[in-house]
């Protein structure tokens, strides 16, 4: 028995934020952002909206496309590095919002940009060990509410954005179909290359105001280091995952790489020797939505007819930690 993706969904906030709008807030330009990152616009939530609400919209679409109701689920895996609350995680709120009365586990996964791939790997293990058989996997992120929108924050504020994507994992007995394998890694020595220092339990609440004043709440990034590692680790990981599945880069029908930066995705494509029609990018429209980029792209590809039964699909991600990983599956 293998696990396969039996439904997909996505939710993006209605508010479109253009590069020109950002240029009105900080010293940057449409030209700089397009050339360095490929991003033309992104989505931010309206004040008062929540990440869980976005996650719920994506989840309902995924359930609908799977022909299932929320009550049919056995487990929820919720990947986010920007939960609505410190405690508890977004998973339990989603369980509540979906009106699920049974006490199925709703688990938060904190693996940043690789969160969705990690959540998928856990869902796959649960399914194959027959612990659970209908699992909702959500990748959702709200970056816009914790951005430094001054010129000091322009390295990250022009890149990161809000969004949610979801899939439902179910069993398949069709030979060759479904999830074929993973390649997963972390390298903690680079933890501070892309991080949010506070607030955390290292700092008592009495000092939170000072932390905020000193800018420790902002997402901070050494962009060049992240770039340098991402363009090596993603292709390396794709090859390792393909090797384990007994496939080669030539066999890939569609590679969906985490939408960190268009230049990174293009470098990964080149390194793997893939044609344009073997890859998919939507960072131009959505920016980097961290754990949400891959399920959003999967849903777009699925609904646009870019995924046909039997296609070899590879997902790969790299992010803060550093964490990275890939998944190989037959659609």
- Which residue numbers are catalytic? 113, 258, 288
Binding segment toward ligand COA, per CB under 6 A, in 71-79, 125-133, 161-169, 222-230:
222-230
Is 32 one of the binding residues for ligand COA (CB under 6 A)? yes
Hey, which residues between 41 and 70 contact ligand COA (CB under 6 A)? none
Token pair, residue 180, equals 């074929």
Token pair, residue 277, equals 């029609």
Residue 255: closest CA among 311, 296, 304 = 311
Is 264 one of the binding residues for ligand COA (CB under 6 A)? yes
In a 13 Å sphere around the CA of 206, the CA atoms on its Cβ side amount to 0
Hey, which residues between 296 and 325 contact ligand COA (CB under 6 A)? 319
Q: Closest CB to ligand COA among 126 and 322?
A: 322
Token pair, residue 29, equals 């330009």
Is 223 one of the binding residues for ligand COA (CB under 6 A)? yes
**Tokens 């932390």 belong to which residue?**
211
Q: How many CB atoms lie within 10 A of CB 250?
A: 12
Q: Closest CB to ligand COA among 215 and 223?
A: 223
Interface residue with ligand COA among 72, 227, 236, 239 (CB under 6 A) is: 227
Q: Closest CB to ligand COA among 58 and 113?
A: 113
Residue 144: closest CA among 27, 34, 281, 47 = 47
Interface residue with ligand COA among 34, 110, 128, 155 (CB under 6 A) is: 155
Q: How far is the CB of 23 from ligand COA (least distance, A)?
A: 8
Is 226 one of the binding residues for ligand COA (CB under 6 A)? yes
Interface residue with ligand COA among 8, 28, 172, 316 (CB under 6 A) is: 28
Alpha-carbon distance 88 to 93, whole Å?
A: 8
Whole-number Cα distances in Å, 135 to 38, 106, 167, 168, 298: 34, 10, 8, 6, 17
Is 154 one of the binding residues for ligand COA (CB under 6 A)? yes
**Tokens 């792209």 belong to which residue?**
297
Q: How far is the CB of 287 from ligand COA (least distance, A)?
A: 10
132 in helix, strand or coil?
A: coil
Peptide bond into 199 cis (omega under 30): yes
Alpha-carbon distance 285 to 202, whole Å?
A: 37
Interface residue with ligand COA among 17, 120, 137, 158 (CB under 6 A) is: 158
Is 267 one of the binding residues for ligand COA (CB under 6 A)? no
Is 261 one of the binding residues for ligand COA (CB under 6 A)? yes
Whole-number Cα distances in Å, 248 to 93, 142, 324: 41, 36, 20
- Tell me the number of residues near ligand COA by CB under 6 A: 19
Strands (E), 34-89: 41-44, 75-79
Q: How many CB atoms lie within 10 A of CB 73?
A: 23
Binding segment toward ligand COA, per CB under 6 A, in 41-49, 64-72, 117-125, 223-231:
223-231
Q: How far is the CB of 313 from ligand COA (least distance, A)?
A: 21
Contact positions toward ligand COA, by CB under 6 A?
Answer: 28, 32, 36-37, 113, 154-155, 158-159, 221, 223-224, 226-227, 260-261, 264, 288, 319
């Amino acid at each position: 028995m293998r696990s396969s993706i039996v439904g997909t969904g996505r939710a993006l906030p209605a508010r479109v934020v253009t590069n020109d709008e950002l240029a009105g807030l900080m010293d940057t330009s449409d030209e700089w952002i397009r050339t360095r990152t490929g991003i033309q616009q992104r989505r931010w939530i309206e004040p008062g909206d929540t990440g869980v609400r976005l996650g719920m919209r994506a989840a309902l679409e995924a359930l609908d496309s799977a022909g299932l109701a929320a009550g049919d689920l056995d487990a929820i895996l919720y990947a986010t590095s920007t939960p609505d609350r410190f405690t508890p995680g977004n998973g339990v709120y989603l369980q509540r919002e979906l009106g699920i009365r049974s006490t199925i586990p709703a688990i938060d996964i904190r693996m940043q940009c690789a969160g969705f791939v990690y959540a998928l790997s856990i869902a796959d293990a649960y399914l194959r060990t027959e612990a659970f058989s209908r699992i909702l996997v959500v990748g959702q992120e709200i970056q816009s509410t914790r951005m430094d929108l001054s010129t000091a924050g322009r390295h990250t504020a022009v890149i990161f954005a809000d969004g949610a994507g979801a899939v439902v994992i179910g069993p398949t007995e069709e030979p060759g179909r479904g999830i074929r394998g993973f390649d997963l890694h972390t390298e903690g020595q680079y933890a501070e290359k892309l991080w949010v220092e506070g607030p955390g339990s290292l700092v008592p609440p009495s000092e939170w105001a000072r932390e905020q004043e000193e800018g420790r709440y902002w997402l901070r990034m050494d962009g060049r280091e992240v770039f340098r590692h991402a363009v090596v680790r993603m292709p390396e990981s794709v090859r390792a995952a393909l090797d384990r599945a007994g496939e080669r880069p030539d066999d890939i029908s569609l590679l969906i790489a985490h939408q960190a930066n268009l230049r990174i995705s293009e470098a990964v494509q080149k390194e793997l020797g893939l044609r344009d029609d073997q890859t998919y990018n939507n960072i131009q429209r959505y920016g980097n939505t961290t754990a949400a980029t891959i399920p959003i792209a999967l849903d777009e590809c699925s609904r646009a007819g870019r995924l046909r039964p039997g296609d070899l699909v590879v997902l790969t991600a790299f992010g803060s930690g550093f964490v990275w990983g890939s998944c190989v599956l037959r659609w």
